[in-house]
Structure 1
Amino acid sequence: MKIWFLTPTFPPVHGGSETQAFTLAAGLVRRGHRVQVLTERYPGTSETEVLDGVRVHRVATDPERWSSPDCVPWEERCFGLLRDAERLVRRGEVDVLQTFCQVGALLGAMMKAALDCPLVVSMNETTPHTDPFGDARSRLVFGGLPHDRVVAGSRAFAEQALDYGADPAKLHLVRYGVDETLYGEVTPEAVREARAWMGTGPQDRIVLLVGRFKERKGQRELVEAMTHVVRDHPRARAVLVGSLNSASAAYKRALEEDIARAGLAGRVALRTSDRPYGGMSALYRAADVVVQPSHSEGLGLSAIEAVLAGRPLVATRVPGLSEVLENCPGTVGVPPRDPASLARAISAVLADPDAAARDAERAEEAARREFTAEAMVNGYLKVYEQAVSARGGAWR
């Protein structure tokens, strides 16, 4: 099959949605399908490149284009990407058009009739209601666009789609999967390098949180929890690793102020991630416990990655993360927005490392069954086959 992905962000940008899109694309290529990606061009990236067999086309959407004399700025901001899409994506060269967010779904809906192909949409907006006109936009995207199929990566995303008017007959649950081969053995040298990168010493007990710097990730609750943890475990050090892509610089500054106010300088560190795709395994392996104190998640790929790396996991019982906790016995669930409960759970893991290691091993075995990239690729291929067949086409 000839498949085009439309996604505003793609590796080397870090995040759960980027990891999902790349894992799916690479898995489809390994099955013999042709996948091309239309995405944003960031500094240091090429206009066209091939990553694990996936051809990636990157286009710049900078303000200079908006102010060109032959453009109307409003139109360029709203529809400028269509010019790039028309140049790259041609009728007859697409069997399936796949998008991964609401803006991608809108763009795809404008393209599908001209390309004469089915449109399959997946949404990765965890809290779309917080965006301007978010509820109305979501009702349009899920209930009003001419997409052929909606794929939800978790129960939480499936419920969101139905709440916003998605047709149940077109909705498919295909749980996100992680390439478990990225989380195999890690050399002692790589772990030492990861500890040095995080600014921790060999005797420190590392509490790791991976996630974009944004309020719903619950980083402020971890900072507050660490005021209690360090009393019982003086060598405990929390490291918050994230990015500012689709995040908040103001929130990161607030975290820095929280750390200083709590007297935790040297005990809680913020690190902006610049590690390549697949380069997180050593960070997880260096951790004594990984925490995910989010207020909401679509699923929580970083939580799954931590479990696959064999690390104890403490996560909040919220939609999305609850799906990980339920399917990976040995993980620890805590209430959201509750720093005291989070501190007790972290301290309990640090207090009994042998028990924590046994629980982590049990959870890892379950994750390798429940959250596989192979199952995700199989699920998407079935959806593509149905979408193509429903339009009277053939996919092989």
Structure 2
Amino acid sequence: MKIWFLTPTFPPVRGGSETQAFTLAAGLVREGHSVSVLTERYPGSSAVEELAGVRVHRSRTDPERWRSPDRVPWEERVFGLLRDAQDLITPDRTDVLQTFCQVGAVLGAMMTSSLRCPLVVTMNETTPHTDPFGSARTRLVYGHLPYDAVVTGSAEYQRQAIEYGADPARVHLARYGIDGDLYGPGDGSEVDEARQWLRVAPGDQVVLLVGRFKERKGQRELVRAMTRVTRRHPRARAVLVGSLNSASVAYQRQVEQDIADADLSERVLLRTSALPFGSLRAIYTAATVVVQPSHSEGLGLSAIEAIAAGRPLIATAVPGLSEVLESCPGTVSVPPKDPDALADAICAVLDNPEKAERGARRARAAVRREFDARDMVGGYLKVYERLRATEDVT
């Protein structure tokens, strides 16, 4: 099959939705299918490149295009991408159109009747109701757009889709998966380089949080927890690794202010510069414990990655993350928005590292069974093939 992905962000941009889209695309290519991606072009990236056999077309949507005298900026912001899509995504090149967010679904719905191919949508908006007109927009997307199928990466996303009006018969679960062979203990040089990048000393105990700087990710709770953790473990260092892509500068500044107010600038470190794509294995391996204190998650791909890397995981018992915790015995759950409980759990791991490592090994064995990229790819392919067969009949 010839499959097109329409997604606003794609590696080397880092994040759970970007990792999912890349893993799916690469897996489909390994199965013998052709996958092309239309996504945003960032400074330093090429207009066209290939990643793991996936052909990536990058289109600029910056204000320079809007200033042309023959363009209406307001319309260009909303519909400008369709001009590039029309030149690339044509009926003879497309058997399935796959999108990964609400705006992609809207654009895909405008295109699919001309392309005469099935439209499959996957949504990665975890808390759409918090966006302007978010609930109404989500009801429009799920309840009224002419898509052929929704594929969700978790039971929580599946529940959300149906709650906002998707026809349950068109909603399919293909749980997010990772390539477990890409994770696991890094060699000594990789770990040393990762610790240098994290700016921690050889004897430091690293409490790692990977996630965009958004309030629901719980970075501020970790900062508060560290005021207690460092009293008991002076060599503990929390490192918050994340980006501002689809995130909040104001929230990052709040986190920085919390760190300053608590006099933790030497013990809580922020790393917001870009990581080389594919480097997270070593980053996780360099951690003593990984925490995911989110207020909400669709699933929590970084938690899965941490477990696959063999690190002890502490995560909040919220929908989405609970799916990971329940599937992977050996992980530790804490209540959301509870810095004291988070501090106690971190101290328990640092107090008894042997016990924590035993739990991490149990969890790693489970995550490779429960969140395998091959199962995710197979789930999407079943949907694609069924839609293509139906189209051929009609």
The TM tier, using the shorter chain, reads over 0.9
Deviation at 1:272, TM superposition (A): 1.1
Q: Deviations over 1:322-373 (max 9, x none)?
A: 0000000000000000000000000001100000000000000000000011
Counterpart residue number, 2:157: 157
Question: Which whole-Å CA distance do the structure 1 matches of 2:277 and 2:333 have between them?
Answer: 28
Question: Which whole-Å CA distance do the structure 2 matches of 1:198 and 1:219 have between them?
Answer: 16
Question: Which whole-Å CA distance do the structure 1 matches of 2:182 and 2:118 have between them?
Answer: 32
Q: Deviations over 1:240-291 (max 9, x none)?
A: 0000111111111111110010011100000014223321011111111000
Counterpart residue number, 2:232: 232
SS at match of 1:237: strand
Q: Deviations over 1:367-393 (max 9, x none)?
A: 000001100000000010111122226
Question: Which whole-Å CA distance do the structure 2 matches of 1:113 and 1:35 have between them?
Answer: 20
Question: Which whole-Å CA distance do the structure 1 matches of 2:374 and 2:185 have between them?
Answer: 20
Counterpart residue number, 1:202: 202
Counterpart residue number, 2:91: 91
SS at match of 2:82: helix
Deviation at 1:48, TM superposition (A): 0.2
Question: Which whole-Å CA distance do the structure 2 matches of 1:49 and 1:265 have between them?
Answer: 40
Question: Which whole-Å CA distance do the structure 1 matches of 2:221 and 2:227 have between them?
Answer: 10
Deviation at 1:235, TM superposition (A): 0.8
- One-letter identity of the residue aligned with 2:252: K
Question: Which whole-Å CA distance do the structure 1 matches of 2:207 and 2:7 have between them?
Answer: 32
Work out whether 1:75 is the aligned partner of 2:84.
Answer: no
- One-letter identity of the residue aligned with 1:358: R
Question: Which whole-Å CA distance do the structure 2 matches of 1:192 and 1:251 have between them?
Answer: 31
Percent of paired sites with the same residue: 70
Q: Aligned pair count?
A: 394
Counterpart residue number, 1:64: 64
Work out whether 1:332 is the aligned partner of 2:332.
Answer: yes
SS at match of 2:238: strand
Question: Which whole-Å CA distance do the structure 2 matches of 1:393 and 1:187 have between them?
Answer: 53
Q: Does structure 1 conserve the Cα–Cα contact (< 8 Å) formed by 2:184 and 2:285?
A: no
SS at match of 2:336: coil
Q: Which moved more, 1:59-68 or 1:210-219?
A: 59-68
Counterpart residue number, 1:254: 254
Q: Deviations over 1:200-256 (max 9, x none)?
A: 111110000000011110000000000011111111110000001111111111111
Q: Structure 1 185/235 Cα, relative in aligned 2: closer, same or farther at 3 Å?
A: closer
Question: Which whole-Å CA distance do the structure 2 matches of 1:297 and 1:44 have between them?
Answer: 31
Work out whether 1:18 is the aligned partner of 2:18.
Answer: yes
Work out whether 1:34 is the aligned partner of 2:43.
Answer: no
- One-letter identity of the residue aligned with 2:243: S
Deviation at 1:319, TM superposition (A): 0.7
Alignment of 1:226-305 (within 5 A): 226-305=226-305
SS at match of 2:318: coil
Question: Which whole-Å CA distance do the structure 2 matches of 1:165 and 1:389 have between them?
Answer: 26
SS at match of 2:305: helix
Counterpart residue number, 2:2: 2
SS at match of 2:177: coil
Counterpart residue number, 2:124: 124
Counterpart residue number, 1:217: 217
Counterpart residue number, 1:319: 319
Deviation at 1:91, TM superposition (A): 1.3
- One-letter identity of the residue aligned with 1:302: S
Deviation at 1:67, TM superposition (A): 2.1
TM-score, length-scaled by structure 2: 0.99
Structure 1 gaps of 5+ residues are none
Question: Which whole-Å CA distance do the structure 1 matches of 2:67 and 2:319 have between them?
Answer: 43
- One-letter identity of the residue aligned with 1:172: H
Give 4+ residue runs of structure 1 displaced > 6 Å after superposition: none
SS at match of 2:93: coil
Q: Deviations over 1:32-67 (max 9, x none)?
A: 000000000001100000000000000000112122
Question: Which whole-Å CA distance do the structure 1 matches of 2:38 and 2:198 have between them?
Answer: 33
Question: Which whole-Å CA distance do the structure 1 matches of 2:342 and 2:386 have between them?
Answer: 44
Q: Structure 1 246/136 Cα, relative in aligned 2: closer, same or farther at 3 Å?
A: same
Question: Which whole-Å CA distance do the structure 2 matches of 1:279 and 1:85 have between them?
Answer: 31
Deviation at 1:143, TM superposition (A): 0.7
Work out whether 1:345 is the aligned partner of 2:326.
Answer: no
Work out whether 1:133 is the aligned partner of 2:133.
Answer: yes
Question: Which whole-Å CA distance do the structure 2 matches of 1:364 and 1:184 have between them?
Answer: 9
- One-letter identity of the residue aligned with 2:85: A
Q: Which moved more, 1:1-10 or 1:275-284?
A: 275-284
Structure 2 gaps of 5+ residues are none
Question: Which whole-Å CA distance do the structure 1 matches of 2:73 and 2:268 have between them?
Answer: 44
Question: Which whole-Å CA distance do the structure 2 matches of 1:65 and 1:316 have between them?
Answer: 43
TM-score, length-scaled by structure 1: 0.98
Question: Which whole-Å CA distance do the structure 2 matches of 1:292 and 1:392 have between them?
Answer: 45
Deviation at 1:184, TM superposition (A): 3.0
Query: What is the CA RMSD across the aligned residues, in angstroms?
Result: 1.0
Q: Does structure 1 conserve the Cα–Cα contact (< 8 Å) formed by 2:185 and 2:282?
A: no
